[in-house]
Amino acid sequence: MTTTSVPTAAALALGDDALVLSHRLGEWAGHAPVLEEEVALANIALDLLGQARVLLSLAGDEDELAYLREERAFTNLQLVEQPNGDFAHTIARQLYFSTYQHLLYAELAAADGPFAPLAAKAVKEVAYHRDHAEQWTLRLGDGTDASHERMQRACETLWRFTGEMFRPVAGLDADWPGMESTWVEAVGDVLRRATLTVPEGPRSGAWAAGAGRQGLHTESFGRMLAEMQHLHRSHPGASW
Amino acid sequence: MVTTTPLEAELLELAGSVPDPELPVLTLHELGVLRAVHVHGPDSVEVELTPTYTGCPAVEAMSLDIERILHEHGVRDVTVRRVLAPAWSTDDITDEGRRKLREFGIAPPRTGRAAGPVGLQLGPTRTLDREAGEAGEAADPIRCPHCDSADTELLSRFSSTACKALRRCLSCREPFDHFKEL
CATH code for the domain of B41: 3.30.300.130
Q: Quick one: which of B154, B146, B152, B62 has its CA closest to B101?
A: B146
Instruction: Supply the mean pLDDT for chain A.
Output: 93
Distance CA A147, CA A6 (A): 44
**Per-residue model confidence as pLDDT tens digits over A27-51:** 999 999 888 899 999 999 999 999 9
What pLDDT, on a 0 to 100 scale, did the predictor assign at position B131? 36
pLDDT, average across residues A182-203? 96
> Are the CB atoms for B111 and B95 separated by under 8 Å?
no
Going by pLDDT thresholds of 50, 70 and 90, the confidence category of residue A142 is very high
Contact flag A120-B85 (C-beta cutoff 8 Å): yes
Which positions ≥6 away from A163 have C-beta within 8 Å?
A202, A203, A204, A208, A210
Residue A42 is assigned to a structural domain of this protein: yes
Residue B125 is assigned to a structural domain of this protein: yes
Distance CA B87, CA A2 (A): 16
Say which DSSP state A35 is in: H
Residue B58 is assigned to a structural domain of this protein: yes
> Are the CB atoms for B23 and B106 separated by under 8 Å?
yes
What pLDDT, on a 0 to 100 scale, did the predictor assign at position B113? 56
> Are the CB atoms for B89 and B53 separated by under 8 Å?
no
**Per-residue model confidence as pLDDT tens digits over B3-43:** 788 999 999 999 999 999 988 999 999 999 999 999 998 88
Residue A240 is assigned to a structural domain of this protein: no
Question: Do B39 and B71 share a structural domain?
Answer: yes
Q: Which residue of A has its CA nearest to B124?
A: A139
Residue B67 is assigned to a structural domain of this protein: yes
Chosen domain end from B82, B116, B140: B82
Query: CB-CB: which of A39, A132, A138 is closest to B128?
Result: A138
Residue B22 is assigned to a structural domain of this protein: yes
Contact flag A50-B88 (C-beta cutoff 8 Å): no
Residue B31 is assigned to a structural domain of this protein: yes
Give the A:B interface size as CB pairs under 8 Å. 95
Residue B95 is assigned to a structural domain of this protein: no
Contact flag A131-B117 (C-beta cutoff 8 Å): yes
pLDDT, average across residues A134-144? 96
Contact flag A117-B87 (C-beta cutoff 8 Å): yes
Q: Which residue of A has its CA nearest to B54?
A: A50
What pLDDT, on a 0 to 100 scale, did the predictor assign at position B142? 93
What pLDDT, on a 0 to 100 scale, did the predictor assign at position B111? 85
Distance CA A47, CA B14 (A): 30
Say which DSSP state B102 is in: H
What pLDDT, on a 0 to 100 scale, did the predictor assign at position B115? 53
What pLDDT, on a 0 to 100 scale, did the predictor assign at position B151? 93
**Per-residue model confidence as pLDDT tens digits over A152-173:** 999 999 999 999 999 999 999 8
| Dihedral (Cα; B166, B170, B171, B174), 10-degree rounding | 30
Return residues 19-48 of A near B (CB < 8 Å): 36-37, 39-40, 42-44, 46-48
Chosen domain end from B82, B114, B149: B82
**Amino acid found at A193:** R
> Are the CB atoms for B169 and B146 separated by under 8 Å?
yes
Distance CA A128, CA A69 (A): 31
CATH classification of the domain holding A75? 1.20.1260.10
Q: What is the mean pLDDT of each run of 10 residues along chain B (182 residues)?
A: 82 94 93 94 91 89 95 93 92 95 93 61 42 52 92 89 90 93 89
Does residue A119 have a pLDDT over 60?
A: yes
Residues of chain A contacting B160 with CB distance shorter than 8 Å = 39
Residue B109 is assigned to a structural domain of this protein: yes
Residue A64 is assigned to a structural domain of this protein: yes
Query: CB-CB: which of B56, B85, B115 is closest to A1?
Result: B85
Say which DSSP state B122 is in: B
Helix (H) or strand (E) holding B39: strand B34-41
**Per-residue model confidence as pLDDT tens digits over A210-238:** 789 999 999 999 999 999 999 999 998 78
Question: Do B175 and B136 share a structural domain?
Answer: yes
Question: Do B78 and B11 share a structural domain?
Answer: yes
Residue B98 is assigned to a structural domain of this protein: no
Which residue range forms the structural domain that includes residue A219? 8-234
Question: Do B27 and B78 share a structural domain?
Answer: yes
User: ω into residue B6 within 30 of 0, thus cis?
Assistant: no
Residues of chain A contacting B87 with CB distance shorter than 8 Å = 117, 120-121, 124
> Are the CB atoms for B30 and B93 separated by under 8 Å?
yes
Residues of chain B contacting A43 with CB distance shorter than 8 Å = 158, 161-162
The domain tally of chain B equals 2
Which positions ≥6 away from A39 have C-beta within 8 Å?
B156, B158, B159, B160
> Are the CB atoms for B132 and B119 separated by under 8 Å?
yes
The domain tally of chain A equals 1
Does residue A78 have a pLDDT over 70?
A: yes
Question: Do B31 and B72 share a structural domain?
Answer: yes
Which residue range forms the structural domain that includes residue B10? 6-82
What pLDDT, on a 0 to 100 scale, did the predictor assign at position B161? 84
Helix (H) or strand (E) holding B77: strand B77-82
**Per-residue model confidence as pLDDT tens digits over A87-112:** 999 999 999 999 999 999 999 999 98
What pLDDT, on a 0 to 100 scale, did the predictor assign at position B137? 56
Residue A152 is assigned to a structural domain of this protein: yes
Question: Do B123 and B68 share a structural domain?
Answer: no
